[in-house]
Amino acid sequence: MCAGEFFSPVFIMKKTSLDIIKMAFVTSLPVLAAYIFLGMGFGVLMSERDYPVYLSFFSSIFVFAGTGQYLLVDLLVSKASLLHTAFMTLMVNARHTFYGISMINRYKDMGKYKPYMIFGLTDETYSLLCDENTYPEKKYAGLYCFFVTAFDHLYWITGCTLGAVLGSLLDFNSKGIDFSMTAIFVSVFVDQWLKEKNHYAAIVGLLVTLICLIIFGSGKFLIPAMILITALLTIPYAQEAKKNG
Amino acid sequence: MVDSQVILTIVVAALATMFTRFLPFLIFNGKKKIPDYVMYLGDRLPYAIIAMLIIYCLKDVSFNETANYLPNFIAIGVVAILHFWRKNTLLSIIGGTAVYMILVQVVFV
């Protein structure tokens, strides 16, 4: 780069913004394949139930939640009430609230980019953006996070729509493809298990939910499970707080 | 023609999802300090919720028929082993789902 270019402020701005977008693209690459594949799973499920392609397309734009959308297919097929839909979606996506809590400080100064980034804070986007050390310099952090979110969103829309189109054109046996939802959770579970030394929360989550499923049945075990989990997680916190006065 | 219940269900799912994502930013808009207890739950709950969601996925599995529960357990084992081994999310998901699909379509029919 020659000195003239270097000192031209407009050029620096443009060049750097483009660099940030490229950097965001490289960061988003692991999600590319995952979202195309998982999105296709959703699209295929939708077309199998004879829902038109545009419903998959709009769901991927406005819902933009992997698990949430797999659940949505279940809710649509079973003709669930709107109240039940709202409740189940809130339960399944409640973890996003906790992602949000940990992003409050990180997203604090990101101004106009912020609403969209909050809208698009999926599990995968969170996993790409939860480490602040990977951000570029402060001035460009907002642009960077915005584009990582937008690339992920684009992959998701592409996957869901592609799956719906292929599912309606081709007649292949997709029985069992819904297992990909279970597979996502198991792989996240293993990830967390390897990263975290304290397994109390993970074990509480497994056992409490299992016991609640056995006691309350498959229709109403989630609320008691959530309450019991929160209570059991509060015990070590309360003990710690007591110790510290 | 898609009936309006379908459209409304999707709208409700979209709004409920947005609600879970915007909620913390609406409550703690940077001015108030986030209570320690909320921060603690924010740190711990994701571990428990992922575990809960695994059980949620298995809620309709019946232990009366081998063809119903065995494919699930085998495929979960495959995902876990692949993930311990390679730590590649995509590989684990594709590998596990492929095994599951083969099991339910070819082996346990």
Domain ranges, residue A176: 14-180
For residues A203 and A137, membership in a common domain is answered with no
For residues A162 and A203, membership in a common domain is answered with no
Å from A139 to nearest chain B CA? Answer: 19
Q: Do B10 and A72 touch (CB under 8 A)?
A: yes
Q: Look at residue B93 in the predicted model and tell me its pLDDT.
A: 84
- What's the pTM? 0.75
Would residue A5 count as lying in a domain?
no
Query: What's the pLDDT tens digit per position in A176-186?
Result: 877 877 887 89
The closest CB to that of A104, out of B14, B25, B53, belongs to: B25
- Spatial separation of the C-alpha atoms in residues A134 and A155, rounded to whole Å: 21
- Spatial separation of the C-alpha atoms in residues B84 and B51, rounded to whole Å: 16
Residue A220 gets which letter from DSSP?
A: S
- Spatial separation of the C-alpha atoms in residues A64 and A70, rounded to whole Å: 11
For residues A67 and A159, membership in a common domain is answered with yes
The total number of structural domains that make up chain A: 2
pLDDT string in tens for chain A (245-residue length): 344 444 444 445 556 899 999 999 988 887 887 788 889 989 998 998 899 999 999 999 999 998 899 889 989 998 999 998 998 899 888 888 888 887 888 888 888 999 999 999 998 888 788 777 788 988 899 999 999 999 999 999 999 999 999 998 987 787 887 787 788 789 889 988 998 899 999 999 999 999 999 999 987 888 899 899 999 999 999 999 998 87
Straight-line distance from the first to the last Cα atom of chain B, in angstroms, rounded to the nearest whole number: 35
Domain end, chosen from A155, A180, A205, is at: A180
Q: Look at residue A7 in the predicted model and tell me its pLDDT.
A: 47
For residues A69 and A155, membership in a common domain is answered with yes
Domain end, chosen from A180, A212, A233, is at: A180
Task: Identify residue A82 by its one-letter amino acid code.
Answer: L
- Spatial separation of the C-alpha atoms in residues B17 and A90, rounded to whole Å: 7
For residues A218 and A119, membership in a common domain is answered with no
- Spatial separation of the C-alpha atoms in residues A109 and B74, rounded to whole Å: 47
Q: Look at residue A14 in the predicted model and tell me its pLDDT.
A: 58
Q: What's the token pair of residue A245?
A: 């006065």
Q: What's the token pair of residue B15?
A: 């709004």
Check if the beta carbon of residue B73 is closer than 8 Å to that of residue B100: no
Closest among A225, A62, A230, A150 to B10, alpha carbons compared? A62
Q: Do A237 and B37 touch (CB under 8 A)?
A: yes
What ipTM was predicted for this assembly?
Answer: 0.88
Q: Provide the residue ranges of all domains of chain B, joining segments of one domain with +.
A: 1-29
For residues A36 and A144, membership in a common domain is answered with yes
Check if the beta carbon of residue A118 is closer than 8 Å to that of residue B22: yes
For residues A24 and A125, membership in a common domain is answered with yes
Quick one: chain B helix, strand, coil %, rounded to 5?
80, 0, 20
Query: What's the pLDDT tens digit per position in B25-84?
Result: 999 876 777 888 888 887 888 788 889 889 988 988 988 888 889 999 999 999 999 999
Would residue A190 count as lying in a domain?
no
- Spatial separation of the C-alpha atoms in residues A209 and A106, rounded to whole Å: 32
Report chain B residues whose CB lies below 8 A from the CB of A85.
9, 12-13, 16
Å from B91 to nearest chain A CA? Answer: 9
